[in-house]
Structure 1
């Protein structure tokens, strides 16, 4: 039995993966701040996850013993993160749309989100450890 396979751990893992990808995308944006005609990119995940979670009704899920069975109740589908490029704007005369101050603040915000995800994973593991050890 895998104790770390429930939907909350899967959501936290997806959040960590999204924060990691966002860090790479923001670093790429900052590295290309002076590149002519470079367009900034961003990662969409949290808004997609929130929409998915808001669409779920608070009812018990049905157990599927066969893949041909209908899904009953809420699903635990976690949306895929996606990288989107902003081609609609231009900040500089060279066609570049990267604002280094904005990217740095987004990078700091992303670091805080990443730390919160890690703390949540640690809390979940601590709770499971206490339950298994009987404390």
Structure 2
């Protein structure tokens, strides 16, 4: 059984795409930390990755299912952004993005070496 190039990197490509979308959402939350009545949003990364990588997944370009974040401390102006939580989530997601990118680069380099016969 042969494995295509796209099949061998699909999971990591999907992970990078979802991490990028999540960073955009988290950055929006941080940017709106002082906006009255702004509701912080996020999505379950693992569930979305499973959906994007599942059988018959033409959903790779689909938008993740966003949910509202439930704040630990409520704000008087109706804003649900907790800056410390959002910054921590953003930092962690960025680190995981960089890790996925490094892993994908190594995977591609390994495949190129195999193709060249090195």
Global fold match (TM > 0.5): yes
**Bucket of the pairwise TM-score, normalised by the shorter protein:** 0.7 to 0.9
Unaligned 5+ residue runs, structure 1?
57-74
Change (3 A) 1:94 1:28: same
User: What is residue 23 of structure 1 aligned with on the other side?
Assistant: 23
Larger radius of gyration: 1
The 3-state SS of whatever aligns with 1:36 is coil
In the alignment, which residue of structure 1 is the partner of 2:83?
A: 100
Q: TM-score, normalised by structure 2?
A: 0.79
TM-score (norm 1): 0.70
Please give the secondary structure, in 2, of the residue aligned with 1:5: helix
Deviation at 1:29, TM superposition (A): 0.4
Specify which structure has the higher proportion of helix.
Answer: 2
| Aligned-partner Cα distance in 1 for 2:49–2:21 | 16
- State the distance in 1 between where 2:88 and 2:66 align: 19
Question: Are 1:38 and 1:97, in contact at CA under 8 Å, matched by a contact in 2?
Answer: yes
Residue pair 2:19, 2:97 contacting (<8 A) in 1 also: yes
1:124 shift after superposition: 1.0
